[in-house]
Structure 1
Amino acid sequence: MTYLATSAAHWPGTVLVLIAGLALGLLLAGPLLRRTFPVAWWLLLGFPVACVQVARTWRPLMAGCGLAVSRKAALVVVSGLVGKGAPPPQPRVPRRGVMHPTAGGFWFLVRLLPGQVPEAFAKAAPAMAENWQVHAVRVTSHRPGIVRVVASTADPLREPRISRQRGSGRLLRVVVGALETGAQWVIDLRQVPHWLIVGATRSGKSTLINALVAGLAPQPVALVGIDCKGGMELSLYGPRLSALATDRRQAVKLLAALVELTLDRMAVCRKAHVRNIWGLPDADQPVPVVVIVDEIAELFLIANRGEKDEAQAAGTALIRLAQLGAALGVFLIVAGQRVGSDLGPGVTALRAQLGGRVCHRVADPGTAEMALGDLNPDAIKAAQAIAPEQAGTAVLASGDGWERARSHLVSEAQAEATAVEYAHLTPFLPELADVLGGPSAGLTVRLERLDRDSRTSNDDHDHDS
């Protein structure tokens, strides 16, 4: 009994010593752990410290940013002024939810007080980042009356950590980079079928296209290119392209053939009483076609009457493909240095059909507004803030909101090597065979079977941490 009593008496002290030893070990090994295993360091040491810091500063931070409300409507509390010796009443502050860790930060929800709006919290984001000593804080509307606060301890876009994609992956889904939350940047054409990518020279636009082609090349899809700059950009992927148009006249013919292809597929779906090609039996499913248009302005710029007719025909065909293609297995990736309404009414109509938007650093504010303004006006300022040295960094916008991302560096040599490696997967599309003078050498393989899992999988886009 005496031994048990002695053990019980020493037990709290032993636990405290163990805790102190563990804390000291983490502090000493912290720098090495942070460099070698940054995620483990953050979860073991960084996140608990951040929780304490946020809890300690939340009330004074809300008061300093004007987000605290007096408990009595007519009562004004002045710092340091105490009436009749009583302590000053504590103002009400927005209620903060539980903090959740991410790979490089944390997030939590905040319930707004009556009369408050999300914009007031968004203006306070720099003050939050300064008080919590983190790289950046973003505030977005979660649902009416609640905002979502996301903090990043370091800039995850400085050195995007994404693993090399092995194999074909899920059909029409490509990991192209990293989001500012630390999550993977995924372009899934089954979820968002058509994309607009804009960016000035050396902004990272071509690198993003390289990453897309490198991810799609191992998959059973047909890649079709339209490059009216003589094929200088997309000819790199020539062995993996089922067709390539290098001037506007060829582009008009190729786009017309693609429209006919969609109409043929529409007739097949109507006969089978299904709403899209994914409802067809495996043996009847046609190969998905991804159309990559580089430098969209070259299709719309005109110098004479004849070019005007060609530009109008190209614009009309692109709009029809955007309207009909998603259900019929035709997807658009439209890229350009400059996109504006001055190129013609067809550009604005086409832009409305491209649900996914990627804006790199641009040379004029009109292009950023054209790319992002109709979906999320708040994203325009973020796009205009991208510095020239931040090549590859972009702002993404969709109907769900906007976020910053950076594409994985895929060089032209790597993209070209990938196209050669998977040239044997290039499908032969008879609908396009005679448009540009017959199929090229090597384009003789026709794929009959698609990835079955892709027809039934409806996984969410990986934008959340």
Structure 2
Amino acid sequence: MIVLASAPSAGETWLSWVLMVAAALASGLLLAGPALRRRYPAAWWMCIGYPAACIRVARTWRPLMAGCGLAVSRKAALTVVSGLVGNGAPPPQPRVPRRGAVRLAPGGFWFLVRLLPGQVPEDFVNAAPAMAHDWEVHAVRVTTWKPGVVRIAAMAADPLKDPRIPKQRGAERLLRVVVGVLETGTQWVFDLRHIPHWLIVGATRSGKSTLINALVAGLAPQPVALVGIDCKGGMELSLYGPRLSALATNRAQAVKLLAALVDETQDRMELCRADRVRNIWGLADDKRPVPIVVIVDEIAELFLIAGRSEKDEAQAAATALVRLAQLGAALGVYLVVAGQRVGSDLGPGVTALRAQLGGRVCHRVADPGTAEMTLGDLNPDALQAAQSIAPEDAGTAVLASADGWERARSRLVSEEEAESIAAEYAHLTPYLPALADGAGGFTVHLERLDRDE
């Protein structure tokens, strides 16, 4: 008996060609994967990393939830045992939290999970390391999306290890500065109009000075006044001398400078009251006073007391800073307070001041109390992330506010570059008559800003 083989149909030929092309593309991507990941990480993630991650999440979700204690049995234990003995039936599959679709993100992915009755977000926070290992990603972060729902976000690699700051789009807004990159790969922005006062802490060589350099470098080209208080003899802030409207280099000068700034806020308050506006941004352009950014380096030097004679100075400095923090946001006076250590042992003024500083940045610190003082009252969940910053991760920090917390890394601005920027924009240094008239030993830059040019 002879059987004749029929020729393949057009549909079968087309399907075989599609499979061959798909196999060739998949093989090419796998072979070129390492090189593609090094040179074009975004393309590698979209073509290879993200699809593979979706498969891993789908394959491991149920056993992962069971292994982390997040699965719930559908029947009581006694009912299950009796059913097995009586009927020889297999045990029912446990209920696992229902998750949404895995969504693409720059360098990672995220999805939503609905909690089962009795579960809380902290249960998933504790399971985050296990998720990272099972999905072969750098880190997993769990946050509350809304009551009963958590958001699970994963990063394939650490974007802070070799940060690439996204390009700035459009002109920079007043008092808004890009200082680095967030762990999501987006810009790290200091927006003093949004969060007017900041506390920055970090041990020696943790990146605190680099962040201040980046902040000053971004503010220098803007029409704002920069005022410095550096009670370590001006060793840090004197780099920006040509761009500073005033600089205090010891506590006695700092007290007088702060008193002059408090008087300036009182004058601005009267100006706003006369025009029946609630802040300086409601004033006409020709009446609006120049914004002032006060940078305090090493806050402990203002509060530490070596003897009874220094107590009054420390108390005066603390009172003036708290008053500036309370009144300054509406009157165009903004505080950036930095230090290696912040603790209640420095005096009650520190705690009162901290309550007014809505933005917090915590680099690697030498003691857990400083991290607790910086982040504990805003975002307790950020403490663990801050305390895990390694010494070699200079520039990496945890920033927190009422909006939440994130890991970030500031861009590197060297001392030479900071000096160059300060000299380049020295002609923009505003003349502040209130500081010049009350100069009590601190340095005042008397070059007037010519607004007519």
TM-score by length of 1: 0.90
Deviation at 1:344, TM superposition (A): 1.0
Give the conservation status (yes or no) of the 8 Å contact 1:300–1:315. yes
For structure 1, the 5+ residue unaligned runs are 450-465
Q: Residues 165 and 241 (structure 1 numbering): CA distance in 2 closer, same or farther, change over 3 Å?
A: farther
Give CA deviations for 1:346-365 in whole Å, capped at 9, x if unaligned. 11100000011111111122
Letter in 1 for 2:273: R
Q: Are 2:260 and 1:257 equivalent residues in the alignment?
A: yes
Residues 217 and 341 (structure 1), Cα distance of their counterparts in 2 relative to 1, 3 Å cut: same
Question: 2:144: which partner in 1?
Answer: 141
Letter in 2 for 1:202: R
Q: Quote how far apart the aligned CAs of 1:89 are.
A: 1.5
- Does the aligned pair in 1 maintain the 2:245–2:445 contact within 8 Å? no
Deviation at 1:284, TM superposition (A): 1.7
Query: 1:381 is matched with which residue?
Result: 384
Q: Quote the residue 2:449 is aligned against.
A: 445
Partner of 2:230: 227
Superposition deviation, residue 19 in structure 1 = 2.2
**Contact 2:295 2:335 (C-alpha < 8 Å) held by counterparts:** yes
8 Å CA contact 1:240, 1:422 repeated in 2: yes
Task: Give the Cα separation in 2 of the matches to 1:338 and 1:416.
Answer: 26
Deviations along 1:424-456, one digit per CA (max 9) or x if unpaired, are: 11111111113336975662215589xxxxxxx
Please give the residue correspondences for 1:180-191 in structure 2 after superposition, counting only pairs within 5 Å. Answer: 180-191=183-194
- How far off is 1:333 after superposition? 0.2
Question: What is the deviation of 1:6?
Answer: 4.5
1:362 to 337, 347, 365: 365
> Shift in Å at residue 83 of structure 1?
7.5
In 2, Cα distance between equivalents of 1:438 and 1:66: 62
Q: Which residue of 1 aligns with 2:33?
A: 30
What CA distance in whole angstroms lies between the structure 2 residues aligned with 1:77 and 1:262?
72
1:351 and 2:354 aligned: yes
Offset of residue 232 of structure 1: 0.6
- Write the distance in 2 (CA, Å) between the matches of 1:134 and 1:438: 52
Q: 1:146: how far off?
A: 0.8
The answer to whether the 8 Å contact 1:297/1:339 transfers is: yes
Contact kept in structure 1, 2:251 and 2:313, CA below 8 Å: yes
The answer to whether the Cα contact below 8 Å between 2:107 and 2:157 also exists between their aligned partners in 1 is: yes
Question: Residue type matched to 1:445 in 2?
Answer: L
CA contact (8 A) 1:165 1:215 kept: no
**1:25 alignment partner AA:** G
How many Å separate the matches in 2 of 1:312 and 1:177? 35
- Listed as ranges, the gaps of 5+ residues in structure 2 are 1-7
Aligned mates of 1:298, 1:438 — CA distance in 2: 16
SS in 1 for 2:226: strand
SS at 2:341's partner residue?
A: coil
Q: 1:14 matched to which residue of 2?
A: 17
Q: Any residues of structure 2 matched to 1:74-93 within 5 Å, and which?
A: 74=77, 84-93=87-96
Question: What is the one-letter code of the residue matched to 1:99?
Answer: V
Counterpart in 1 of 2:159? 156
Q: CA RMSD in A?
A: 2.2
CA distance in 1, matches of 2:140, 2:393: 19
AA aligned opposite 1:178: V
Tell me if the contact between 2:431 and 2:446 (Cα under 8 Å) persists in the aligned partners. no
Partners of 1:168 and 1:218 within 8 A in 2:
no
Per the alignment, in what secondary structure is the counterpart of residue 282 of structure 1?
Answer: coil
Q: Normalising by structure 2, what TM-score?
A: 0.93
Pairs within 5 Å for 1:19-418: 19-74=22-77, 84-163=87-166, 169-418=172-421
Contact 1:291/1:331 (8 A) holds in 2: yes
**How many residues matched?**
443
Determine the C-alpha separation between the residues in 2 that align with 1:102 and 1:178: 15
Query: What is the Cα deviation at residue 165 of structure 1?
Result: 5.8
